[in-house]
């Protein structure tokens, strides 16, 4: 169980905790953010931390979050309170010969910052469209856009990608030399998120045809720079 | 984009935020905790929330966390500071006819509490074994157990499952009646985490044979009560 949770940089992990956007590698950060479907958003209320899973998307150099005006959460975002937005992708189990060198291959991004509200209707619509495009490219044009009532009932926020750190582990187990001959299997079991066959709305069978991109839906491909995907 | 992030109970989500273990349904909570591989652990340092992905396991009615004495994080756990441990499983994309009714099927557990250190060596060993068993049943007996030096360099903590809430969404899209005839596909794209073929340690080809349970590795089965899995 290699310790990689919250520790200083080491040769076996990549940590970048820097204060300026220019200081991290946007390609690495963006690939992780664009692949992940859910962010864990941390905030503090009366000294108690809370961590809430949320939909999110990257729009250029900021993260988009949204919340209904009927929720409690929109007030947290609107307050400008310090947030931590953490995104984690699991890439594999690392099985070592010794119990303590078991680990997990993963890629994670931690963003510290405060949410800024997006108030202009055209910018809100663009940000909400981005949330859909993040899930399934093309979907914002293959669904009814938000109407005026929905737009009013939804608050949209942006967290700038300024204080960003990346932490990741890849590769095989790193056993102690004296353990290498032990009679235990050691290696990596890769993990991947896969889409199963789509299930049309049973209550109201849809009129439209199944959208493209569902067959072979692959978050990893979505996380790659567009020029690499094609 | 249905709002389910942090809002009061509604007919479409299940929230249990209760102060006593007896008050929630342990079967639901345990199934989610036992299926998930990673927890997002939230804590506060000088009013700034942090959310760190961590390995974890459920041991009876508590969550096990661990940290190296060389890390920064063990001090956070040992301080008895308030924590939030959130576990999220993604079950599917919910594609609706309208942009705003897009959603995600998921199951999540939020545990609020403080970590209590496990100090007795036999209890530490049992908790560390549980962390391995959580990843792959049988693995704690198919690897070298922690030795005295490793045990000393590792601090083990337990967060009691007392203040626990469950939040989940399942089922198809819930479009507004006036949108049902729109020419857009609507339904669910189920998501599942799958293990790909295991990759033996290339640097040091393992002596042991591949462990059972890797072929068809299925977290969802691991999340089910043992009597149901078999």
Confidence at residue B24, expressed as pLDDT on a 0 to 100 scale: 67
- Using DSSP, state whether B199 is helix, strand or coil: strand
For domain A21-181, which architecture applies?
Roll (2.30)
Share of chain B above pLDDT 90, in %: 77
pLDDT at B122 over 80: yes
| pLDDT in single tens digits along all 230 residues of chain A | 443 332 333 333 334 333 333 346 889 999 999 999 999 999 999 999 999 999 999 999 999 999 999 988 899 999 999 999 999 999 999 999 999 999 999 999 999 999 999 999 999 999 999 999 999 999 999 999 999 999 999 999 999 999 999 999 999 999 999 999 999 999 999 999 989 999 999 999 999 899 888 888 888 888 865 444 33
Could you tell me how many CB contacts below 8 A there are between chain A and chain B? 340
Q: What is the mean pLDDT of residues B54-58?
A: 98
A44 with B43: Cβ contact below 8 A: no
Is the sign of the CA dihedral B123, B126, B129, B130 positive or negative?
Answer: negative
User: Where is average pLDDT lowest: A169-178, B9-18, B155-164?
Assistant: B9-18
Please identify which residue in the block is written with the tokens 């040091």: B204
Nearest CA in chain B to A132: B99
DSSP letter string, A28-66: HHHHHHHH-SEEEEEEEETTEEEEEEEE-EEETTEEEEE
Average pLDDT of chain B to the nearest whole number: 87
Residues of B in contact with A129 (CB under 8 A): 99
Residue A186 near residue A97, CB atoms below 8 Å: yes
Nearest CA in chain B to A188: B199
Confidence at residue B189, expressed as pLDDT on a 0 to 100 scale: 96
Q: What is the mean pLDDT of residues B18-40?
A: 78
Q: Could you say which of B97, B150, B201 has the minimum Cβ distance to residue A172?
A: B201
How far is the C-alpha of A110 from the C-alpha of A122, rounded, in Å? 29
Q: What is the pLDDT of residues B182-226, one digit of tens each?
A: 999 999 999 999 899 999 999 999 998 999 888 888 888 888 654
Q: What is the pLDDT of residues B101-115, one digit of tens each?
A: 999 999 999 999 999
- A25 vs B77: which has the higher pLDDT: B77
Which residues, in sequence order, are CB contacts of B40 under 8 Å at separation 6+? A40, A42, A51, A53, A86, A88, B51, B52, B53, B54, B85, B86, B87, B88
- Among B14, B13, B12, B39, residue whose Cα is nearest residue B161: B39
Confidence at residue B19, expressed as pLDDT on a 0 to 100 scale: 35
Residue A96 C-alpha, separation from nearest chain B C-alpha, in angstroms? 7
Query: Chain A window 112-171: which residues touch B at a Cβ cutoff of 8 Å?
Result: 112, 128-129, 131-132, 135-136, 139-140, 142-146, 150, 154
Confidence at residue A228, expressed as pLDDT on a 0 to 100 scale: 41
Residue B37 near residue B219, CB atoms below 8 Å: yes
Topology of domain B21-173+183-191, per CATH?
A: Pnp Oxidase; Chain A (2.30.110)
pLDDT at B141 over 60: yes
Residues of A in contact with B144 (CB under 8 A): 97-99, 179, 182, 184
């Amino acid at each position: 169980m290699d310790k990689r949770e919250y520790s200083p940089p080491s040769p076996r992990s990549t940590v970048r905790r820097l204060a300026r956007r220019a200081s991290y590698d946007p390609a690495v950060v963006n690939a992780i953010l664009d692949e992940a479907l859910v962010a864990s958003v941390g905030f503090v209320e009366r000294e108690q931390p809370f961590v809430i899973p949320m939909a999110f998307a990257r729009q250029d150099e900021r993260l988009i979050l949204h919340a209904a005006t009927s929720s409690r959460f929109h007030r947290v975002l609107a307050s400008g309170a310090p947030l931590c937005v953490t995104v984690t992708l699991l890439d594999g189990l690392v099985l070592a010969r010794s119990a303590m060198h078991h680990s997990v291959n993963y890629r994670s991004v931690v963003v510290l910052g405060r949410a800024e509200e997006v108030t202009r209707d055209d910018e809100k619509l663009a940000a909400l469209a981005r949330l859909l495009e993040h899930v399934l490219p093309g979907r914002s044009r293959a669904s009814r856009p938000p109407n005026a009532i929905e737009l009013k009932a939804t608050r949209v926020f942006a967290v700038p990608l300024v204080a960003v750190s990346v932490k990741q582990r890849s590769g095989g187990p790193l056993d102690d030399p004296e353990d290498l001959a032990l009679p235990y299997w050691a290696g990596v079991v890769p993990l991947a998120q896969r889409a199963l066959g789509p299930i049309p709305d049973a209550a109201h069978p849809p009129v439209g045809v199944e959208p493209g991109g569902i067959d072979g839906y692959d978050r990893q491909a979505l996380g790659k720079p567009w020029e690499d995907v094609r």
